[in-house]
């Protein structure tokens, strides 16, 4: 082998080795760019999960009424790491005027397991129906910016509705208020959530919400229940 060919071969091997090493570095899971431990800490005990209209967990309710907001794609991870009754430590931004925390991480105090945002896994299995439920509001629910977007009933059922409609009907969405709501109900292993389409003080006095009509034909549309059906619990 000539010295020229030898040098070319060595150069090619070195280049391939460097590229391979670089690819291996970039293929390794990286550490989070932001250090959530520098954010304010909130401690408490989990009362229940909060659910989106799709049935994904989007946060936690603590026993003292504090809402912890999480991305819905952390649904699977959070239910494996944290359960009602567990003591938790949350790092995240606290709202000024509400007991509301936009969480960057949630740690189970007993096990040390921490949930952070590492990508969107699938949510749990879910069964969909359309129904009308009644109950008393235990806690008013909020979005990340503090806007009211639903309520948790005393039986654990979550009511979710668009923030503008929640603002329009804020007189109904008050703690201790008895309400009736009609909408798409999702029953999951984690709880029940209703995407509200009409709400009122009673089944006979429902106000329709300004929301798009239900999509899907005879095969795709939700199964309906009678107007007197009660929520779970």
pLDDT, tens digit, 9 for 90 and up, residues 195-225: 999 999 998 999 999 888 765 433 344 444 4
* Number of C-beta neighbours around residue 47 at 10 A: 19
Q: What pLDDT score was predicted for residue 228?
A: 44
Residue predicted with more confidence, 194 or 10: 194
Tell me: pLDDT of 191 over 50.
Answer: yes
pLDDT digits (tens, 9 = 90+) for 136-162: 999 999 998 899 999 999 999 999 999
- Work out the burial of residue 225: count CB atoms within 10 Å of its CB; fewer than 13 is exposed, 13-18 middle, 19 or more buried: middle
**Residue from 205, 55, 209 nearest 129 by CA:** 55
Residue predicted with more confidence, 80 or 165: 165
Compute CA 102 distance to the chain's CA centroid, rounded to the nearest angstrom: 11
Domains in the chain with CATH codes: 40-115 (2.40.50.140), 127-224 (2.40.50.140)
Q: What pLDDT score was predicted for residue 232?
A: 41
Cβ atoms of 129 and 224 closer than 8 Å: yes
Tell me: pLDDT of 12 over 50.
Answer: no
- Work out the burial of residue 162: count CB atoms within 10 Å of its CB; fewer than 13 is exposed, 13-18 middle, 19 or more buried: middle
Q: What pLDDT score was predicted for residue 215?
A: 56
Q: What pLDDT score was predicted for residue 61?
A: 96
pLDDT digits (tens, 9 = 90+) for 26-85: 223 344 555 677 889 999 999 999 998 888 888 999 999 999 998 877 777 889 889 999
**Residue from 122, 132, 100, 102 nearest 54 by CA:** 122
Q: What pLDDT score was predicted for residue 216?
A: 47
Half-sphere exposure of 128 (CA within 13 A, CB side): 14
């Amino acid at each position: 082998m000539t010295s020229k060919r030898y040098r070319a071969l060595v150069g090619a091997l070195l280049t391939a080795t460097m590229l391979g090493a670089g690819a291996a570095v970039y293929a390794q899971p990286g550490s989070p760019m932001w250090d959530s431990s520098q954010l304010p800490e909130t401690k408490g005990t989990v009362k229940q999960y909060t659910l989106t209209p799709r049935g994904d967990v989007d946060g936690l309710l603590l026993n003292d009424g504090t809402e912890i907001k999480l991305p819905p794609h952390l649904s699977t991870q959070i239910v494996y790491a944290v359960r009602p009754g567990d003591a938790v430590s949350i790092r995240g931004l606290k709202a000024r005027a509400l007991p509301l925390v936009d969480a960057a991480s949630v740690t189970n105090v007993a096990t040390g397991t921490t949930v952070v945002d590492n990508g969107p896994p699938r949510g749990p299995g879910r069964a969909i129906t359309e129904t009308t439920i009644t109950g008393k509001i235990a806690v008013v629910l909020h979005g990340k910016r503090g806007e009211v977007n639903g309520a948790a009933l005393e039986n654990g059922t979550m009511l979710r509705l668009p923030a503008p409609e929640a603002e329009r009907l804020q007189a109904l969405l008050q703690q201790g208020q008895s309400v009736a709501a009609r909408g798409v109900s999702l029953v999951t292993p984690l709880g029940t959530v209703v995407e509200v389409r009409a709400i009122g003080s009673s089944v006979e006095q429902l106000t329709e919400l300004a929301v798009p009509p239900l999509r899907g034909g005879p095969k795709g549309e939700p199964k309906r229940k009678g107007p007197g059906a009660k929520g779970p619990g």
